[in-house]
Amino acid sequence: MTDKYAVIGNPIAHSKSPLIHQAFAKQTNQDISYQALLAPLDEFELTIKRLIDDGYKGVNVTVPFKLQAFLLSNHLTPFAQVARAANTLVLERNNIQGHNTDGIGFITDVTQNLNTPLQGVRILLLGAGGAAFGILQSLLENNPSFVIISNRTFSKANEAAKVLSNLIESSNRNTVCMAVPLDDLGDMEFDVIINSTSTGLSDAALPIPNVVFAKNSLAYEMMYGRETPFMAQARANGARVADGLGMLVEQAAQAFYIWRGVRPETTPVIAMLRNRN
Ligand code: ATR
């Protein structure tokens, strides 16, 4: 029997997840269906209950429901707990498992697809919203030498830095983590610069000094689909530049693995999506 899966969001029409999961299923001969579902803004929980009644085995969750998915879960992985968000649910009649695969997706894209180890490197994380919290646990597990978190609203950078510092302390790691105001980045340089802000949506430029882009650094824009001011600035300063399309496919691959126990090949799927643009 065909196992049913879906991605739930609002809006959802733009989602590439059905395309990605259908490609994974074909490639691995898994008998699944996967569709995009628009949930009314006040009916996330009801939608999930209906899907469980309909025999759905799992869902991906996107904007604006990741916090609600987290709150609805009976069991949460450490990744979801730190992120305070779930993007992948395993649905059973009396049990909802909440996972967050964004961090693993990010790390796999950076370390494997972009051949950039994170061990011992200097990381600048720009932004302190949901996208930043989604990768904190995974950053830590890769033992960078330090992580500076910078954000327009400094108190949120501080909050994220505190979460990361507590994780570092409780796991006996040596990474140093600090919040630094955007206009105090001064003469600091970094090996990996991550833009987790939503500035790319509005074409707003982030006020970061050019010096942050060290020689051979990687500038990672979590958004995909267009050249953002952050990417343009990084390129002009000689950094290697990546957008978030690889992360999108890798977080989906991790969700697919959680559901099906099979790891799909991501390279052809990333290439397929790039060719469609
Ligand atoms: P997401 O889930 O995409 O991370 P979010 O939680 O709303 O969305 O966070 C958006 C991030 O982008 C925040 O770090 C936000 O900065 P503030 O905390 O100061 O709001 C950042 N951001 C959005 N627009 C920005 C802009 N024009 N300049 C600088 N930072 C911006």
Catalytic residue among 66, 156, 162, 215: 66
CA-222 nearest atom, ligand 1? 3
Q: Please tell me the distance between residue 3's alpha carbon and the centre of ligand 1 in angstroms.
A: 37
pLDDT at 277: 64
Rounded-to-10 torsion of CA 38, 42, 43, 48: 90
Residue 177 in 3-state DSSP? strand
Counting atoms of ligand 1 from 1, which one is nearest the CA of 133? 4
Are 55 and 8 contained in the same domain? Answer: yes
Regarding the beta carbon of 153 and ligand 1, being less than 6 Å apart is answered yes
Query: Is residue 201 scored above 90 in pLDDT?
Result: no
Shared domain check, 224 and 204? yes
Which CATH number belongs to the domain containing residue 44 in this structure? 3.40.50.10860
Q: Are residues 7 and 78 in the same domain?
A: yes
| Ligand 1 neighbourhood includes 197 CB (under 6 angstroms) | yes
Ligand 1 closest atom vs CA 131: 4
What percentage of the chain carries pLDDT values higher than 90? 95
104-121 confidence digits (pLDDT tens): 999 999 999 999 999 999
Ligand 1: which residue has its CA nearest to atom 12? 197
Q: Cβ distance 179 to 161 under 8 Å?
A: yes
Three-state SS at 38: strand
Q: From the CB of 149, is ligand 1 less than 6 Å away?
A: no
State the chain's mean pLDDT as an integer.
Answer: 97
Asked if residue 123 and residue 82 are part of one domain, the reply reads no
Same domain, 109 and 87: no
> Does residue 187 have a pLDDT over 90?
no
Whether 146 and 181 share a structural domain: yes
CA of 127 to the centre of ligand 1 (A): 6
**Ligand 1: which of 68, 84, 159, 197 to mutate, judged by most atoms within 8 Å of the beta carbon?**
197
Measured CA to CA in angstroms, residue 192 lies from 50, 120, 147, 233, 242 at distances of: 43, 11, 10, 14, 11
Residues 60 and 28 in one domain: yes
Whether residues 49 and 143 share a domain: the answer is no
Q: Domain of 232: which CATH number?
A: 3.40.50.720
90: alpha, beta or left? (left if phi > 0; alpha if psi -120 to 50): beta
Report how many domains make up the chain.
Answer: 2
For this structure, is 4 an active site residue? Answer: no
| Domain hosting residue 72, numbered range | 3-100+247-276
Rounded to the nearest angstrom, the distance between the alpha carbon of 129 and the centre of ligand 1 is 6
Same structural domain for residues 192 and 225?
yes
Q: What is the pLDDT of residue 119?
A: 98
Q: Residue 246: what pLDDT? A: 98
In the chain, the percentage of residues whose pLDDT exceeds 70 is 100
Average of pLDDT values for 231-246?
98
Q: Are residues 133 and 170 in the same domain?
A: yes
How many of the other CB atoms lie within 10 Å of CB of 275? 7
